[in-house]
C-alpha cells in the first residue's frame, strides 16, 4: 500500500549484501571436492550460471549432482558464513515506502532471507528469485516479472545493479539502470555510483519524485 508511482528493483549479492568472499569460498570448496583449481573455477562461475559452469569445468560429472553439492555448500554458508550489508543499505531500505521495492536475485529466496536476517536488513513483500523464472539474467524476464507483480510499468522502475548481466537484464526490460559498488561504470548504466552509500539519497529521491508531499 503506497502512493508512489516509482519503484526500485534491487539485485542482492554485490549490491545490498557483500557476499563476494563468501561466493569465492563456496566455489573454492566445491572445486576442491572435485579435484579442480578453485580460482579457475571461480573465474568461470563469475561469468556463467551454475549449470553452464559445470559444463565448462566438469563436463564429465553429473551436473545435477554438482548442483546438489553446490546448494549444500551455499546453504551451509548462509548459516555459518560472515556477512555484511553495504554501507547505506539499511538506511535506504527502511526509508523506502512499503510496496515500492522488490528484490530480483539469481539466488534463492530462502538464502536471501537468511542473509538479510543475519545483516538486519528488512525483507520486502516481493522477492523474485531463481525459482520464480525460467530465464535468468541477462534475460529481461526477472525484472519484468518483478514489475508485473508490483503492478508497475517498466519505465517507472529503477534497477540497482553491480554486475554486467544484471545491468543488461534491466536495460532489456526497458528500465532505468544505475550501477553501484564498482570503481568503473558497467557498460550501459544510466548513472554510476562508486558505492551504494553515494546512491542512497538519489534512489530515495527517485521514488519520492517531483511531487510535493510524496516523501518516503
Positions annotated as catalytic residues are 11, 13
CB 5 within 8 A of CB 156: yes
> Where do runs of H (alpha helix) occur along the chain?
20-33, 38-45, 50-57, 63-80, 89-95, 109-119, 141-150, 164-172, 196-208
What the block records as the C-alpha cell of 31 is 572445486
Contact 11, 166 (CB under 8 A): yes
Phi, psi of 24 (to 5 degrees): -65, -45
DSSP H or E run through 192: strand 191-192
**Residue linked to cell 530480483:** 104
3-state helix, strand, coil in the chain (%, to 5): 50, 10, 40
Amino acid at each position: 500500500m503506497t502512493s508512489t508511482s516509482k519503484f526500485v528493483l534491487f539485485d542482492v549479492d554485490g549490491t545490498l549484501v557483500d557476499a563476494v568472499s563468501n561466493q569465492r569460498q563456496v566455489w573454492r570448496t566445491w572445486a576442491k571436492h572435485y579435484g579442480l583449481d578453485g580460482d579457475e573455477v571461480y573465474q568461470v562461475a563469475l561469468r556463467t550460471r551454475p549449470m553452464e559452469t559445470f559444463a565448462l569445468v566438469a563436463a564429465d560429472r553429473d551436473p545435477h549432482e554438482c548442483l546438489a553439492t553446490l546448494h549444500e555448500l551455499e546453504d551451509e554458508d548462509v548459516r555459518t558464513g560472515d556477512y555484511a550489508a553495504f554501507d547505506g543499505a539499511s538506511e535506504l531500505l527502511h526509508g523506502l515506502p512499503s510496496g515500492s521495492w522488490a528484490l530480483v536475485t539469481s539466488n534463492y529466496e530462502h538464502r536471501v532471507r537468511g542473509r538479510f536476517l543475519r545483516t538486519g536488513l528488512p525483507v520486502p513483500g516481493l522477492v523474485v528469485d531463481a525459482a520464480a523464472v525460467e530465464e535468468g539474467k541477462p534475460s529481461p524476464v526477472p525484472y519484468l516479472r518483478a514489475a508485473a507483480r508490483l503492478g508497475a510499468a517498466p519505465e517507472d522502475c529503477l534497477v540497482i545493479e553491480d554486475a554486467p548481466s544484471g545491468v543488461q537484464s534491466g536495460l532489456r526490460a526497458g528500465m532505468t539502470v544505475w550501477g553501484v559498488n564498482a570503481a568503473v561504470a558497467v557498460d550501459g548504466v544510466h548513472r554510476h555510483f562508486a558505492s551504494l552509500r553515494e546512491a542512497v539519497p538519489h534512489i530515495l529521491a527517485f521514488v519520492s519524485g517531483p511531487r510535493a508531499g510524496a516523501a518516503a
